[in-house]
């Protein structure tokens, strides 16, 4: 099959990449990064696509449960190199985008020149469409300025997604990576029933830390095994930074970004389950990253903050309402994380570095922003109990958080009536 990314030198390729959609019917919903719109006429595609990572998708209607799209990566600077032309075709029988077959007549350069004038400039089409999801940002918002702005938010959502990551997660060594609503994630526990119903035999999206993965080193024993069960930071660092590993430290952030955007834009519930897993079981349980890898911890917190901000302002659905039980676990994870983060920063004292201080500031900003949902991260949580390791072993764990406070945790003191040195009202088995 021919490379769908055709190299050419016409003038319209001097300002960015081109994404052409062939045979797309009228009244389709088209999405490109932070915008989506319904096209009353057959939509031909986009031109002037700037540097960065982009997600372009289509669906037969706004409310359809089936969406098909591609990730593409545009280089930082074309320089003397012209942009690339991506040509995808709507398959009306299978209702997916795909590469044109070799039997189909390819575009000639003159045809590309002619069609370029009818392509929509990147973002311009959606910005002028009433159904666009591109919303104005409130001037009174308390979110840090570096997270605001239409030009910046998509970069904040995708900066860690790279071609090598897409090759590994999607399982396609290509220059455009196909994703759909029904793609399933390796390790899916079965909550994404719709995805499994439609695509039970499809290839799985593969993450470094899938939902059924061990979050402890299988060689760890004793106290170290228990520590890793309570805080997987060491295992995360080992997986991402091992000299024999194919992964990069940024890949955890990139996969977190991928799962959220494919989950929300394509309605892929398996990816949303993976996103919640990463947030509740990995990112906001890796307390030692604050000290050992503060820049990574800060980037993870800020990425999560941007995702929630983007969800509120640019998307119609609410990720926290789609899976309410997962959202409850997320709120609990954030509550515990806040206390552990405060403890670690206090323990550092004068030795706290600017990067470590930045972790605390980023989480404080997130905490303030979550008040709009009524999330009080100072709320109580249970401090002790049994923790099951990945192999089924149960260990007793006790958290010291809130130990000295009257109003928190299961050890909050109660007033009881005493009778001769013992609590009154207790059952006695004396005869």
Domain coordinates in residue numbering, the chain: 5-127, 206-397
Residue 226 has pLDDT above 80, yes or no: no
The pLDDT value recorded for residue 415 is 42
3-state secondary structure (DSSP) of residue 42: coil
Average model confidence (pLDDT) across the chain: 77
The pLDDT value recorded for residue 171 is 87
H-run or E-run covering 325: helix 324-348
CA gap 76, 429 in Å, rounded: 79
- pLDDT tens-place string over residues 107-155: 555 577 777 778 888 874 333 333 333 333 333 344 444 554 555 788 8
Whose tokens are 């840090």? That residue is 144
Residue 81 has pLDDT above 70, yes or no: no
- pLDDT tens-place string over residues 358-400: 999 999 999 999 998 889 888 655 555 555 555 556 655 555 4
Sign of CA dihedral 359, 361, 366, 367: positive
- CATH class belonging to 206-397: mainly alpha
What are all long-range contacts of 345-350, with beta carbons under 8 Å and residues at least 24 apart?
A: 345/290, 348/291
Angle 294-314/150-158 helices, nearest 10 degrees? 130
pLDDT (mean) for 397-414: 39
**Token couple for 389:** 């390791």
The pLDDT value recorded for residue 140 is 36
**Token couple for 351:** 């030795």
The pLDDT value recorded for residue 317 is 82
Share of the chain above pLDDT 70, in %: 67
CA gap 41, 49 in Å, rounded: 21
Q: Hey, how many other C-beta atoms are within 10 angstroms of the C-beta on 131?
A: 12
- pLDDT tens-place string over residues 249-299: 899 999 999 999 999 999 999 999 999 999 999 999 999 999 999 999 999
Share of the chain above pLDDT 90, in %: 43
3-state secondary structure (DSSP) of residue 139: coil
Cα 290 versus chain centre, distance? 20
Q: Which of 234-238, 270-274, 405-409, 421-425 has the highest mean pLDDT?
A: 270-274
The pLDDT value recorded for residue 150 is 56
Contact 276, 320 (CB under 8 A): no
Residue 164 has pLDDT above 90, yes or no: yes
Contact 352, 342 (CB under 8 A): no
Q: Classify residue 60 by its DSSP letter.
A: S
Burial per residue of 319-356, b for 16 or more beta-carbon CB atoms within 10 angstroms, e otherwise:
bbeebeebbebbbbbbbbbbbbbeebbeeeeeebeeeb
Whose tokens are 């072993």? That residue is 393
The pLDDT value recorded for residue 204 is 82
Sign of CA dihedral 213, 215, 219, 222: negative
Residue 58 has pLDDT above 50, yes or no: yes
Residue of 317 and 49 predicted with greater confidence = 49
5-127 CATH: 2.60.34.20
The pLDDT value recorded for residue 153 is 85
Which of 46-60, 336-350, 410-424 is predicted least confidently? Answer: 410-424
Q: Which residues contact 391 (CB under 8 A, 6 or more apart)?
A: none
Query: Does 5-127 match 206-397 in CATH topology?
Result: no
Q: Classify residue 159 by its DSSP letter.
A: T
The pLDDT value recorded for residue 118 is 83
pLDDT (mean) for 225-235: 81
The pLDDT value recorded for residue 195 is 47
CA gap 178, 248 in Å, rounded: 23
């Amino acid at each position: 099959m021919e490379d769908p990314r055709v190299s050419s030198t016409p003038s319209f390729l001097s300002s960015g990449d081109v994404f052409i959609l062939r045979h797309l019917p009228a009244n389709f919903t088209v999405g490109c990064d932070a915008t989506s719109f319904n096209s009353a006429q057959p939509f031909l595609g986009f031109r002037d696509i700037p540097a960065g990572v982009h997600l372009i998708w289509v669906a037969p209607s706004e409310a359809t449960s089936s969406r098909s799209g591609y990730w593409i990566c545009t280089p930082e600077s074309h320089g003397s190199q012209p942009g690339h032309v991506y040509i995808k075709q709507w398959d009306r029988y299978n209702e997916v985008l795909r590469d044109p077959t070799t039997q189909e007549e390819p575009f000639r350069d003159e045809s590309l020149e002619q069609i370029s004038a009818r392509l929509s400039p990147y973002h311009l089409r959606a910005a002028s469409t009433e159904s666009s999801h591109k919303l104005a940002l409130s001037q009174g918002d308390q979110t840090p300025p570096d997270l605001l702005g239409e030009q910046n938010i998509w970069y904040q959502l995708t900066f860690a997604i790279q071609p090598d990551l897409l090759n590994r997660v999607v399982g396609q060594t290509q220059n455009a990576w196909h994703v759909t609503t029904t793609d399933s994630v390796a390790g899916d526990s079965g909550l994404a029933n719709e995805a499994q119903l439609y695509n039970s035999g499809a290839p799985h999206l593969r993450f470094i830390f899938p939902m059924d993965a061990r979050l402890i080193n299988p060689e760890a024993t004793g106290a170290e095994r228990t520590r890793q069960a309570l805080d997987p930071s060491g295992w995360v660092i080992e997986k991402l930074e091992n000299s024999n590993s194919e992964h990069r430290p940024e890949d955890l952030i990139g996969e977190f970004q991928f799962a959220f955007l494919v989950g929300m834009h394509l309605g892929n519930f398996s990816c949303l389950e993976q996103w919640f897993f990463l947030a509740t079981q990995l990112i906001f349980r890796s307390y030692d990253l604050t000290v050992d890898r503060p820049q990574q911890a800060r980037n993870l917190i800020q990425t999560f903050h941007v995702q929630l901000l983007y969800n509120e302002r640019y998307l119609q659905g609410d990720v926290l309402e789609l899976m309410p039980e997962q959202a409850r676990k997320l709120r609990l994870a954030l509550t515990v994380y806040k206390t552990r983060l405060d403890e670690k920063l206090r323990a550092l004292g004068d030795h706290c570095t600017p990067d470590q201080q930045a972790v605390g500031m980023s989480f404080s900003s997130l905490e303030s922003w979550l008040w709009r949902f009524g999330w009080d991260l100072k709320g109580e949580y249970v401090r002790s109990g049994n923790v099951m390791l990945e192999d089924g072993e149960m260990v007793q764990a006790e958290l010291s958080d809130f130990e000295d406070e009257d109003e928190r945790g299961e050890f909050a003191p109660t007033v009881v009536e005493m009778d001769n040195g013992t609590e009154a009202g207790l059952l006695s088995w004396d005869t």
